[in-house]
Chain A
Amino acid sequence: MTPEETLGNAELNYIQHFMLERTGIALEKNRACLVELRISNLLRDLHFSRASDLVNAIHMAPLGAVASALIDALTTSETSFFRDRTPFDILGQEIVPDICKRSAFPLRIWSAACASGQEALSIAMTIAETSQQLLLQTKILASDISQQALLQAQCGEYSELEVNRGLPARLLMKYFTRAGRNWRAKPSLMSRIVFRDLNLVHLSLKETFDVVFLRNMLIYLDDAAKRTVLKNVARCMSAGAYLFLGGAETVIGLGDFFETVRFGSNLCYRLKK
């Protein structure tokens, strides 16, 4: 059965509206093919014969398991260890020394759209490579809206294909152990990370952080949702805290919470005083 046969305009419109309201994600018309393919796979996995069955199930229980499965299916994205490398270099070489001079411990870092956990582990390894002692004084929150992605993140287990993506082999040897065909992050890293299911559009988080990684998430949102997310995230940042966005993302035109900080030819953002 092709996606075209399973997904009509009415169902697609409902799903677009649901995703926008619930997650802030604006499903783009030009990516409709990918959306249809993912929904088609979801229908098969849930043993639904028609997209209208899926829509009805979500309509009956908007916070239920089927709704979660839809969010999982439409938000799971490719990621890698030390993705784009530079933010981790800046974190280890510039920001952590700066924060250590002026902050009380523990150092608090938030991987706000952590997907399957590689970013949070990359942060933990960056800190550990600076100082093992400092890692013991660091708390990392890893959050995502996809419960499926969070489950993998909590396991800390990755295939060879996944560890090949961006993880230097020396760090693999130092911080991972064999788990059958897979590799598992050692407790020294995992014990520093707390995992939580959080929706950044409807955020209820009381803690504050010294550094926030919010990378490659805003690109999926419309401008109103981007403003809401940045405002919510800013509320959870301590004075002078740093924010990393993805390479194609910016805060310009999306509120007045952040200032740009340059490190050589690279930049990140800092919460305005």
Chain B
Amino acid sequence: MKALVVDDSRVMRRILKGILQPLGFEVEEADDGEKALETIRSGGGVDVVLADWNMPVMSGLELVHALKSDPIHSNVPILMVTSESSLDQIDEAFCAGINEYIMKPFDAEAIKTKLQMIGVLA
């Protein structure tokens, strides 16, 4: 199973990679939404996207909109991993089409249970 971690913070990408690899994921990284789209569209089968909200070039929310309007990749599950934590923002992300939302800070158990909720992990 392949996970794509999209975050402009190298430290955050490393933390998520450290959580995902022991869960059995092969992890690819992108530091903004545009590069994430390129990775997904270049093939190779991404099984889940973990995306930050605020990033340069293309934000996480713009990435969600782009993926959901792409007929080939609209079903790729998306977990938003972000510091944004108002009810309006969570609602906005769900309206855009995310599958789950997790607020920073989080721990490995939280990531694991969220991936279970969206059916990516047993």
Residues of A at under 8 Å CB distance from B? 80, 82, 85, 160-161, 163-166, 168-170, 172-173, 177-178
The CA of A173 and the CA of B110, in the complex, are separated in Å by 17
Interchain CB contact under 8 A, A160 and B105:
yes
Interchain CB contact under 8 A, B110 and A169:
no
Interchain CB contact under 8 A, A161 and B110:
yes
**Chain B interface size, under 10 / 10 to 19 / 20 to 34 / 35 or more:** 20 to 34
Taking CB atoms and an 8 Å cut-off, the chain B residues in 93-121 that contact chain A are 94, 100-107, 109-110, 113-114, 116-117
B76 contacts the other chain (CB 8 A):
no
Residue in A164, A168, A177 whose beta carbon sits within 8 Å of that of B107 in the complex: A164
Interchain CB contact under 8 A, B87 and A173:
yes
| Chain B residues closer than 8 Å to A163, beta-carbon distance | 103
Residue in B86, B102, B116 whose beta carbon sits within 8 Å of that of A169 in the complex: B102
Residue in A80, A160, A166, A177 whose beta carbon sits within 8 Å of that of B85 in the complex: A160
The CA of A103 and the CA of B111, in the complex, are separated in Å by 39
| Chain A residues closer than 8 Å to B94, beta-carbon distance | 169-170, 173
| Chain B residues closer than 8 Å to A170, beta-carbon distance | 94
| Chain B residues closer than 8 Å to A82, beta-carbon distance | 113
Residue of B nearest to A162 (CB): B110
B90 contacts the other chain (CB 8 A):
yes
Interchain CB contact under 8 A, A160 and B116:
no
Residue in B90, B103, B113, B117 whose beta carbon sits within 8 Å of that of A173 in the complex: B90
Interchain CB contact under 8 A, A80 and B105:
no
Interchain CB contact under 8 A, A169 and B101:
yes
Give A253 Cβ to nearest chain B Cβ, in Å: 30
Interchain CB contact under 8 A, B113 and A166:
yes
| Chain B residues closer than 8 Å to A172, beta-carbon distance | 90
Interchain CB contact under 8 A, A161 and B105:
yes
Interchain CB contact under 8 A, B91 and A164:
no
Give B43 Cβ to nearest chain A Cβ, in Å: 30
Interchain CB contact under 8 A, B90 and A164:
no
A–B complex contacts, Cβ < 8 Å, 5 sampled? A168-B100, A170-B94, A172-B90, A173-B87, A173-B91
Residue of A nearest to B103 (CB): A160
Closest 7 CB pairs of A and B: A164-B110, A169-B101, A160-B103, A166-B113, A164-B106, A165-B110, A164-B102
The CA of A187 and the CA of B49, in the complex, are separated in Å by 35
Residue in B91, B109, B116 whose beta carbon sits within 8 Å of that of A85 in the complex: B116
The CA of A106 and the CA of B79, in the complex, are separated in Å by 38
| Chain A residues closer than 8 Å to B103, beta-carbon distance | 160, 163-164
